């Protein structure tokens, strides 16, 4: 049976087909004009192929490593499978760029390895701003890169939120160097930073050292206002001649200084040694302290402000007192005949305070004090250490200091309330 399509429907089908054709044509033209040119990689995709050192890592395996103890450049390269002739060329080309001072245990370096061709690049990272890239792909190349460090003067304020480190971190600062300077350089004995509490706050004016907008270190600290247990502490940086130091609002130095000896009048009878013949035991062993000979009963002085962390009889040391001065320094005084009144574990002592008296308790051949000095957890020869020395402001600099102080106090006041 023949189907007869009305004239109106024929016209409709023709129009619909034409519309579909035009639509498909427009879509085709759009995609043709938008087609990515041959060999052109979208910018975001291209950027993802390169790491922070500008090395294309598409076909390379990147691994972080660290220089181990006694690992020479030759050994490192040999362990990476670099031929001896190439190794020597690398050493020659890097001798003035990677010096013995730079190349040390713990230094981070990265290797970029091609599965079929071996190591193609080695990158040594020195701190946060300098790196050296060694290329081994076709010929040996050495490229040193130094990031630009910008110094930006900043003013900050905050209440303590948790620890000092956490609070500084929340402000986007290099928290370790800032906390270290506050605790050990600016307020070494005024504030116990392990006992900060809610309500404590600070304002600081300082130079922030940044790379690509990120804080990486702290430069000069010009002024600090620290409120601890509702007491206000000030610190102002000031240079009198060649001496740079921090002073409070009354021109007093904040650096406590240390005595060079725990006795007023004494002679050194035995020095710090790694191989001393022991006068009582009769054989050689390390003596990691300094002996000061003096008559029995001579007063023994604490060389600086601190807290007694141990007191009592301790084997060969006899009657002994141990004092923590700050996060860096601890001292010990041994062979005492007796202790000074009021000295006990937990006692706060001041510089030059009598803590005991010379004796010969324990393994001692005669009356003396065995004085021991820890610096950052390691016993050291205190006679070779450069102690912090307190330098009060000379009268001729007082007027200049007052001008600097008044200007900085105005800057601190302008920062506003310290908020977390």
Secondary structure letter of residue 394 according to DSSP:
P
Instruction: Tell me: pLDDT of 26 over 80.
Output: no
- CATH 2.70.70.10 domain position(s) in the chain: 267-384
Per residue in 254-311, pLDDT tens? 876 787 789 876 778 888 776 555 555 555 567 888 999 999 999 999 988 889 999 9
Instruction: Tell me: pLDDT of 14 over 70.
Output: no
Per-residue confidence (pLDDT) for residue 420, from 0 to 100: 38
Tokens of 169: 């971190």
Indicate whether this model's pTM tops 0.75.
no
Q: What is the dihedral angle through the alpha carbons of 351, 355, 357, 360, rounded to the nearest 10 degrees? A: -110
* Four-way CATH pick for 52-146: 3.40.190.10, 3.40.250.10, 3.10.450.350, 2.60.40.1120: 3.10.450.350
Per-residue confidence (pLDDT) for residue 42, from 0 to 100: 47
* CA separation for the pair 350, 369 (Å, rounded): 19
Instruction: Tell me: pLDDT of 155 over 60.
Output: yes
Determine the CATH number of domain 267-384. Answer: 2.70.70.10
Q: Concatenate the DSSP letters of all residues of 161-224 into one string.
A: -SSHHHHHHHTTS-HHHHHHIIIIIISTTT--GGG--TT-EEEEEEEEEEETTEEEEEEEEEEE
- CATH 3.10.450.350 domain position(s) in the chain: 52-146, 150-247
Per-residue confidence (pLDDT) for residue 222, from 0 to 100: 97
Q: Which of 144-148, 335-339, 362-366, 377-381 has the highest mean pLDDT?
A: 335-339
- 328 vs 44: which has the higher pLDDT: 328
Residue 126's pLDDT band, with cuts at 50, 70 and 90, is: very high
Average pLDDT over residues 18-34: 65
CATH architecture for residues 150-247 = Roll (3.10)
Q: Which residues contact 240 (CB under 8 A, 6 or more apart)?
A: 391, 393, 394, 397, 401
Instruction: Tell me: pLDDT of 96 over 60.
Output: yes
Per-residue confidence (pLDDT) for residue 416, from 0 to 100: 75
Tokens of 218: 């702290």
Per-residue confidence (pLDDT) for residue 132, from 0 to 100: 96
Dihedral sign from CA coordinates of 391, 392, 395, 401: positive
Instruction: Tell me: pLDDT of 226 over 60.
Output: yes
Q: Which residues contact 128 (CB under 8 A, 6 or more apart)?
A: 147, 211, 216, 217
* CA separation for the pair 269, 292 (Å, rounded): 6
Range scoring the smallest mean pLDDT among 99-108, 153-162, 263-272: 263-272
Share in percent of the chain as helix, strand, coil (round to 5): 25, 35, 40
Mean pLDDT over all residues of the chain? 85
């Amino acid at each position: 049976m023949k189907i007869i399509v009305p004239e109106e429907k024929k016209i409709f089908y023709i129009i619909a087909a034409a519309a579909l054709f035009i639509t498909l044509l427009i879509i085709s033209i759009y995609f043709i004009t938008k087609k990515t040119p041959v060999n052109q990689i979208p910018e975001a995709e291209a950027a993802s192929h390169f790491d922070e050192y500008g090395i294309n890592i598409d076909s390379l395996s990147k691994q972080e490593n660290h220089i181990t103890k006694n690992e020479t450049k030759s050994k490192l390269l040999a362990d990476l499978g670099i031929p001896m002739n190439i190794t020597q060329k690398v050493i020659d080309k890097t001798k003035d760029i990677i010096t013995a001072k730079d190349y040390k245990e713990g230094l981070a370096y990265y290797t970029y390895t091609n599965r079929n061709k071996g190591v193609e690049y080695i990158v040594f990272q020195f701190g946060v701003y300098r790196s050296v890239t060694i290329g081994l792909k076709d010929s040996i190349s050495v490229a040193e890169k130094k990031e630009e460090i910008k110094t930006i003067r900043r003013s900050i304020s905050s209440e303590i939120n948790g620890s000092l480190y956490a609070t500084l971190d929340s402000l986007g600062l290099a928290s370790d160097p800032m906390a270290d300077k506050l605790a050990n350089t600016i307020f070494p004995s005024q504030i116990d930073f392990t006992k900060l509490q809610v309500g404590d706050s600070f304002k600081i004016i300082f130079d922030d050292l940044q790379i690509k907008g990120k804080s990486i270190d702290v430069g000069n600290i010009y002024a600090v206002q620290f409120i601890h247990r509702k007491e206000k502490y000030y610190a102002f940086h000031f240079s009198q001649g060649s001496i740079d130091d921090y002073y409070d609002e009354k021109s007093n130095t904040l650096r406590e200084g240390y005595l060079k000896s725990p006795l007023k009048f004494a002679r050194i009878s035995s020095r710090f040694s790694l191989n001393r013949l022991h006068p009582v035991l009769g054989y050689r062993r390390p003596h990691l302290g300094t002996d000061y000979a003096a008559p029995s009963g001579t007063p023994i002085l604490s060389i600086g402000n601190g807290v007694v962390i141990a007191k009592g009889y301790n084997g060969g040391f006899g009657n002994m007192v141990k004092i923590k001065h700050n996060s860096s320094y601890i001292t010990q005084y041994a062979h005492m005949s007796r202790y000074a009144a009021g000295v006990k574990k937990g006692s706060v002592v001041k510089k030059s305070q009598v803590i005991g008296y010379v004796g010969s308790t324990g393994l001692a051949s005669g009356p003396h004090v065995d004085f021991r000095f820890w610096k950052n957890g390691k016993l050291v020869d205190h006679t070779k250490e450069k102690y912090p020395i307190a330098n009060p402001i000379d009268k001729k600099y007082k007027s200049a200091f007052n001008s600097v102080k008044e200007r900085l106090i105005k800057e601190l006041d302008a920062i506003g309330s310290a908020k977390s």
